[in-house]
Chain A
């Protein structure tokens, strides 16, 4: 079976750093994606991890530990526009299983 857990909600302050965790127990693993979804809009790709370690892309970084079934998305220098839902997705043989998403609210 597939099980992906993320916190439901998080709140952070503009300019700060926030870490959104994702843990998974899946029957197979090819890689892990993070997507951003603003309210009422489609998800958009943020990052992809296939090997253990940190992938950095500007203000966003994503970390993976396959042995622990754990990933996190790190958002630096938070901006108001970062208020959105962040979805963790594990892929196996082409199929992606998504977590329920973490709704991040950035406050001034």
Chain B
């Protein structure tokens, strides 16, 4: 079956522009995660959706960042007024169930965002 799909795979934009990143999780996966990975660094947690529960937004670095998810399907991560420090790979992952679960996360290939 299909894995986690992210689009676009690459995005180059000018500082100050807004960008929207999309994630299609694996069908049936109730948990969805967004991470940021800067070059040579680990994964930085951004936000976590679990079913219809309120999302855990504790990792969003500023109010320029927001994310939405419709039910248990597609999610979009929006970055407003982009800054050069936003340049990174943004990874989306999904799992069968998040809370108290031993289900591994399945990652998409990421969106490589470059801010000029």
- Please give the residue numbers on chain A whose beta carbons come within 8 Å of chain B beta carbons, in ascending order: 30-31, 33, 35, 41-45, 48, 50, 87, 89, 93-101
Contacts and interface: CB of A to CB of B under 8 A. Distances in A.
Interface in B69-113: 91, 98-102, 104-110
A45 B102 contact: no
Nearest to A44: B107
Contacts, number: 55
A43 B101 contact: no
Interface of B: 31, 33, 35, 41-45, 48, 50, 56, 58, 91, 98-102, 104-110
Contact of B110 (A30, A42, A95): A42
Q: State the main secondary structure of chain A at its contact with B.
A: strand
Given A42-B110, A43-B43, A87-B43, A96 B105 contact: yes
B45 A98 contact: yes
A43 B107 contact: yes
Contacts of A42: 91, 107-110
Contacts of A33: 104-105
Contacts of B50: 94
